[in-house]
Every structure is written in structure tokens, then in C-alpha cells.
Amino acid sequence: MLRFNHLTRREFLAMIGAGSTALAVGDCPGFAGNAPNQNDRPPNVVLIFADDLGYGELSCQGSKDIPTPHIDSIAKNGVRFTNGYVTCPLCSPSRAGLMTGRYQERFGHETNPGGSEQVRYRHGLPITEKNLAERLKAAGYATGLVGKWHLGFTGNLVPWKRGFDEFFGFLGGVHHYIYDPDKTSGIMRGSKFIQEKEYLTDAFGREAVSFIDRHKSEPIFLYLAYNAVHNIQEATEKYLKRFESIKDEKRRVFAGMLSGMDDAVGATLRALHDNKLEDNTIVFFISDNGGPTHVTTSNNGPLRGVKAQLHEGGIRVPYMMQWKDHIPEGKAYEKPVVSMDVVPTVLAAAGLKANDTQLDGVNLIPYLKGKSSKPPHDTLYWRFDGNLAIRDGDLKLVNTLKYGEELFDLSKDIGEQNNLAAQNPEKLAELRQKLSKWDKDLPRTMWGLPVAPPRKQKQP
């Protein structure tokens, strides 16, 4: 198997252009052969990450009031993961797990960078952790970030120092969508601040299309990280007019914001089609965590819990993947997967390995192609804000400061309403031991409050 880690992009592209080498990857038959076409080079990757989008908000997830045809098309042309998780119910640590393929607890990135300005600006994804952009850039990919970073504010923590050739977006966790000259703009192109006057979601769609158009002759990695539908709640009249029948004002604005993101996703997918790239492009769509329903009226149903909680509504999210002619189309995959699986899946498709670190995610391609009937993960773990959770098969143990220990069978109780802890003391003890072992082997958080051990309290 050919490795690209030590090739410059110029060398890599020259090699491909000469047609002198067939790229062969066991689970990616489209790479074999010497014909000078898209399938003769590693796949492009478009990773779309929504912000605070609840589990039940997309049409393909059961929503009835906000059509999302373009996002839905990713599921129609690929796989929708009904048990798709993120590693944390909060923005920044969820991104750290996504971009490294590792539990962010392994390197102490357990909450959003916060505190005073002096403290906050020292925090971010540690430079000791390689992210996906750094790995793909070293392999000859053109790498671009459009949207929200939230993994570091200064020094070597910023996107243009972390593997991205191009950056258009903002560094922090939240930003206005509608331009106001009286407010400080945090939008940047590269390392320079600019004034962006277009509705921000539309601008992100515009920049994604531009990146694809300009780099169509190269292997592309585009990380398209929308801040939609995160609060601040702002939508333009164009999108609000689509939902005049929604009487609740907050819900109408939310609907406009989601519809705007769907339009922008559609523009990105059209750019892949128009540039004849879609057949050799892996597209992921994932939300960073569940919706904060008290703020946005968003819908996590039928799940219990919200953003910043370890019940399903905080960590089970819309999650889908498209790679035409390589994975099934229109399939709902029921076994648990996690956002950490993106990195090893992409690396395997590109013929690369991460020999420098332990990845916690897995390559999903063999499972999606039916080469393995086993679940990609037997067990998944979470630790956040003094709370712990483990999913082992269909059983999930949640140990929170508010409710204590709760045990659920997710195959029968997706809404986590029936606490089985008292009826299953042996299974409770087994999962408690697994969770405790995972927890105690991890370092403490690098910033924020120390992790407090959960207290056992009687379920009300």
C-alpha cells in the first residue's frame, strides 16, 4: 500500500498526473487502475459539521415542519446512522474528538476554552495532537476550513497553523449571522479580519463553493463547520418568508436558519456535481451536539436530554455519510458509531495510517459494505462536567450529579424513561466497573473546573 505522508503536494499531483501509480486500497476498489480520472486519486472529503442541531430536526430524521431536502439527499445517496454519537455534548470538545479521532479526554480537552481573556487565549487543541487537516495536508490534499473553529485563538492553535491552507470564518464559539457595522466583526480570511456583509450562512456556502471550484484538480479536504443553528437566533427575510405558517417567533427564526443551512449545503453538493467530483467525494454531515431546546425551541425528540447533558438528546445527533458507488445508498445503519470514526475512515480511504498515535475511532467502510457483521464499537464512553456515561451494546449507564446512576436498554427505551438499575444490579456493577476503569486511566482536564466524581442519588 502506497503512503503519501512524506510527499509534497506538487510531487503527489505530479505522480497522479503521470498516471504511473495505481492507488489500491482494500476496501476502496475505485482506486484501482491507471486511467486519468477522479477515481485514480484519493477521494475528496467534505466534512459538514452543524452546530446545536437536534436529533429530530431534519426531514430524514422525522421533522414535519422544516424541509431539508439537500441535507436529506446525503442520507438518500448514502448511509444515515440512527445511533450516531459525538464524544461530548458541548461545542469545542466535540470538535476536538471529531478532528483527532480520539477521545478528547485523553488530552484534557473536556470543555470550551473559557475564563479570563488571558487564560482563554492559551487554550485549544494541543499541538501534540494531530488533526485530520494536518494529516491530509501532508498527503497532498488542498485543505480548507469554512466556518467555526473553536479549537484555539492564538499562537500555533489557529487554523492556518493547524493544517489548513485556507480559512474563512471565526475562531470562537458564537457569532452574529447578520452584519451590523456597530458590532465588532470576528470574521477572518486567513489571518486577517474582514467585513462580511452577506448573511453568514450564505457566505459560508459561497466560500465552500469557491474552494471546490478553485481546487477541483487536487484532492480536496473541506471542513465546512456551520455555526447554524447555534444561538444567536437570526434569519433574513428571504428565509423567514418560507415559514409564515409557524406562529411561534423563535421557532420561525430557527426554521429560517436551518433552511438557510440546507440551501448552503445544497450549493456545496451542486459544486461537487458540476465539477464532476461527487462520485469520488466522501461527504459527512454531523451535528456537534444536541439542541438546547430552552433557547432555540429545537427538537431532540424522541430523545431525553439536551445540549450539555449525557442523556441521548445531548450526544446522539444527525449523522450521515455519502460516498457514491463505494458504500450503500439509502441505508439506515442501526449499530452505534461516533464522530471519532471520521478520521480513521477517511485515512483508510486515502490509503494512509496514523502510526503516531492511538485512534479510538474505527474505519466504518468494511461495516457499511457488509464485510463485518459485528458492531464498529462494543462500548462507547463519555465524561463531561462531573458526569459519566457508558453505552455497552444496547445498555447505557448514565451517572450524573443530578440523578445518580440510571441504567437503560436503548433497544426498548430510546427516550431513557425506564431506569433498570434496581432490577439489574449485576449488569449495573459490570458497567460501573468498565466506566470507572476508563475514567481513572485518563488525565484531568487541562482547563476549567476539575472533574468532580458523580454523587449517587436516588432517582426522583
Catalytic residue, from 70, 91, 109, 230: name it. 91
φ, ψ for residue 84 (rounded to 5)? Answer: -95, 125
What average pLDDT does the structure give for the chain?
89
Distance (Å, whole) CA 154 – CA 151? 10
Tell me if 459 is assigned to some domain: no
> How big is the CA angle at 317 (ends 429 and 259), to the nearest 5 degrees?
165
Grid look-up 458507488 returns 325
Residue 163 in any domain: the answer is yes
Domain range holding 261?
Answer: 40-368
- 295 and 396 part of one domain: no
Average confidence (pLDDT) over 232-243:
97
CA distances from 353 to 132, 182, 232, 436, 457 (A): 11, 48, 39, 30, 45
pLDDT tens-place string over residues 145-176: 999 999 999 899 999 999 999 999 999 999 99
Check the CA dihedral 109-115-120-122 and report its sign. negative
Alpha-carbon span 170 to 154, nearest angstrom:
12
| Confidence check: pLDDT of 9 > 90 | no
Same domain, 96 and 44: yes
CA angle 150, 280, 270 (to 5 degrees): 70
Among 184-193, 239-248, 341-350, 447-456, which is the least confidently predicted range?
447-456
The predicted pLDDT at position 16 comes to 34
Read off the pLDDT band of 293 (50, 70, 90): confident
279 and 420 inside one domain: no
Spell out the alpha helix ranges (H) of 334-415: 342-349, 365-368
pLDDT at 143: 99
Give me the DSSP letters along 105-163: GGGT--S---SSHHHHTT-BS-TTSPPHHHHHHHTT-EEEEEEE--SBSSGGGSGGGTT
Q: Does 294 qualify as catalytic in the annotation?
A: no
More confident residue, 282 or 459: 282
Tens of pLDDT, residue by residue over 184-222, are 678 999 999 999 999 999 999 999 999 999 999 999 999
Task: Say whether both 225 and 201 belong to one domain.
Answer: yes
Please check whether residue 112 lies inside any domain of the structure. Answer: yes
Q: Could you tell me which of 34, 419, 70, 411 has the C-alpha nearest to residue 269?
A: 70
Assigned domain for 449 exists: no
Residue 326 located in a structural domain: yes
User: E strands, 219-293, where?
Assistant: 220-225, 281-287
List the CATH number of the domain containing 174.
3.40.720.10
Residues 157 and 202 in one domain: yes
Mean pLDDT, rounded, for 119-127: 78
How large is the angle between the packed helices 249-274 and 200-214, nearest 10 degrees? 10
Q: 373 — phi, psi (to 5°)?
A: -90, -5
pLDDT tens, 73-87? Answer: 999 999 999 999 999
Distances (CA, A) of 218 to 10, 226, 283, 321, 328: 10, 24, 16, 22, 26
Is 70 known to be catalytic? no
- The active-site residue, picked from 150, 175, 311, 326, is 150
**CA–CA gap between residue 57 and residue 62 (Å, rounded):** 7
As beta bridge partners, residue 217 has none
Q: Is the peptide bond before 229 cis (omega within 30 degrees of 0)?
A: yes
Q: Say whether both 309 and 402 belong to one domain.
A: no
pLDDT in tens, 411-442: 999 999 999 999 999 999 999 999 999 999 89
Predicted pLDDT at 72: 98
* pLDDT given for residue 117 in this prediction: 54
Same domain membership, residue 212 and residue 69: yes
Q: What is the pLDDT of residue 121?
A: 58
**Is pLDDT at 319 greater than 80 in this prediction?**
yes
24: in domain: no
Q: Are 286 and 50 in contact (CB under 8 A)?
A: yes
Predicted pLDDT at 138: 98
Tell me, yes or no, whether 126 and 236 share the same domain.
Answer: yes
Could you read off the pLDDT of 380-417 as tens digits, one per residue? 999 999 999 999 999 999 999 999 999 999 999 999 99
- Domain tally for the chain? 2
Distance CA 67, CA 178 (A): 23
- Do 119 and 262 have their domain in common? yes
Backbone angles phi, psi at 124, to 5 degrees: 165, -175
